């Protein structure tokens, strides 16, 4: 069983050398498993097909950092969202051959522990990788974050950072579906072209080419920003705060530009929250699970009707998973970063 294990805990950005690609032996007593009753010991064994690379995984690669999710175990296989095929199960809800999504190991085969919330994939007329992206956690983040946290209204002016990524590309399209004016920022020309010509954004700019983010934002939002969907934090958040409209809303989805350590410099424009009565709310998609079935149904319909464009960046092979994950923090991914381990 080939696996990706955590070699050492990180302090700054993750590096490929923090992870290791190893071969190990997965010992399964098939006879014992087949005979064990539902609810006993091992429940489901899966063959992993797709893995998702997500920025939150950086938090699990640290041991000192207080996060909402526990660190990975040193020397052990790391976990993340994935799509897999059941090869053995004594769980009443899963049968051999079922396609499932949920938390799995970064390895070829995983034994899914009891209590994990695997979900059976019912819609098989879309690519399977969509279940770790547009129809999975990032898609749901965009949906709950935009429609619930941002409380959008038709015609409002929306700004999205990391706009071509897994979450950002969908936020922009959800905002367009509401009749908003939408501008995105991203880190290279290819991404800007996609935003403007494929993903339906009204405009987009490369934040790395701007000397002054305040000037850039004033170019696209001369009358100010109603909604900022923040994926990055840092200098961009600071500049946006100076350009928000009165009663504007900021959904703080993530702060990939910040390492999360306390020594980081503060945001200079934070005071703008007061005179402009801005609402700024951090959120976790997992707090909105009551919206999940509505999200899945409407997003699948959007896809089938050709109303949603979805861009993926698929790395081939488990051995390339560490570089794909590390690449997120350098903007290497164009669209949702996925790793294909094998076909069905």
Which residues contact ligand NDP by CB under 6 A? Answer: 54-56, 138, 141, 162, 165-168, 186-188, 191, 231-232, 253-254, 256-257, 283-285, 328-329, 331, 333, 336
Q: Closest approach of Cβ 8 to ligand NDP, in Å?
A: 21
Asked if 192 and 174 touch (Cβ cutoff 8 Å), the reply is: no
174 DSSP 8-state letter: H
Cβ atoms < 10 Å from Cβ of 205:
20
Q: Which is nearer to ligand NDP, 9 or 56 (CB)?
A: 56
Q: What's the rounded Cα separation, in Å, for the pair 212 and 243?
A: 13
> Which residues lie closer than 8 Å to 135 by C-beta, 6 or more apart?
123, 126, 296, 299, 300, 303
Q: Closest approach of Cβ 207 to ligand NDP, in Å?
A: 7
Per DSSP, the three-state class of 119 is strand
Q: Which is nearer to ligand NDP, 48 or 333 (CB)?
A: 333
| Six token digits for residue 41 | 């010991």
Q: Which is nearer to ligand NDP, 1 or 119 (CB)?
A: 119
Asked if 19 and 4 touch (Cβ cutoff 8 Å), the reply is: yes
Q: Closest approach of Cβ 177 to ligand NDP, in Å?
A: 18
Q: What's the rounded Cα separation, in Å, for the pair 120 and 98?
A: 7
Q: Closest approach of Cβ 156 to ligand NDP, in Å?
A: 21
Q: Closest approach of Cβ 335 to ligand NDP, in Å?
A: 7
Q: Which is nearer to ligand NDP, 162 or 217 (CB)?
A: 162
Q: Which is nearer to ligand NDP, 88 or 225 (CB)?
A: 225
Q: What's the rounded Cα separation, in Å, for the pair 203 and 188?
A: 14
Q: What's the rounded Cα separation, in Å, for the pair 128 and 122?
A: 11
């Amino acid at each position: 069983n080939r696996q990706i294990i955590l070699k050492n805990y990180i302090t700054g950005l993750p590096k490929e050398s923090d992870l290791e690609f190893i071969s190990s032996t997965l010992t399964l007593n098939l006879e014992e498993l087949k005979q064990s009753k539902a609810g006993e010991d091992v429940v489901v064994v899966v063959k992993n097909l797709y893995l998702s690379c997500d920025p939150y995984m950086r938090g699990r690669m640290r041991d000192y950092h207080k996060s909402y999710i526990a660190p990975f175990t040193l020397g052990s296989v790391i976990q993340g969202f994935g799509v897999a095929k059941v090869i053995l199960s004594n769980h009443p809800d899963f049968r051999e051959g079922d396609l499932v999504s949920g938390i799995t190991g970064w390895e070829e085969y995983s034994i899914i522990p009891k209590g994990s919330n695997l979900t059976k994939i019912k819609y098989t007329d879309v690519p399977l990788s969509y279940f770790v992206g547009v129809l999975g956690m990032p898609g749901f983040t965009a949906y709950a974050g935009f429609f619930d946290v941002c409380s959008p209204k038709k015609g409002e002016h929306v700004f999205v950072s990391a706009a071509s990524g897994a979450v950002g590309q969908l936020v922009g399209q959800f905002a367009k579906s509401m009749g908003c004016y939408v501008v995105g920022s991203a880190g290279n020309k290819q991404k800007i072209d996609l935003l403007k010509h494929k993903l339906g954004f009204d405009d987009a700019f490369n934040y790395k080419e701007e000397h002054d983010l305040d000037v850039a934002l004033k170019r696209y939002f001369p009358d100010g920003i109603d909604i900022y969907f923040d994926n990055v934090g840092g200098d961009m958040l600071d500049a946006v705060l100076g350009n928000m409209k009165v009663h504007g809303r900021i959904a703080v989805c993530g702060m990939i530009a910040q390492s999360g350590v306390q020594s980081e410099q503060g945001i200079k424009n934070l005071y703008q929250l007061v005179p402009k009565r801005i609402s700024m709310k951090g959120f976790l998609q997992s707090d909105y699970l009551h919206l999940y079935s509505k999200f899945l149904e409407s997003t699948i319909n959007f896809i089938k009707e050709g109303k949603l464009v979805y861009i993926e960046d698929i790395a081939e092979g488990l051995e390339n998973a560490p570089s794909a994950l590390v690449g997120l923090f350098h903007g290497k991914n164009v669209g949702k970063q996925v790793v294909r381990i094998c076909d069905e």
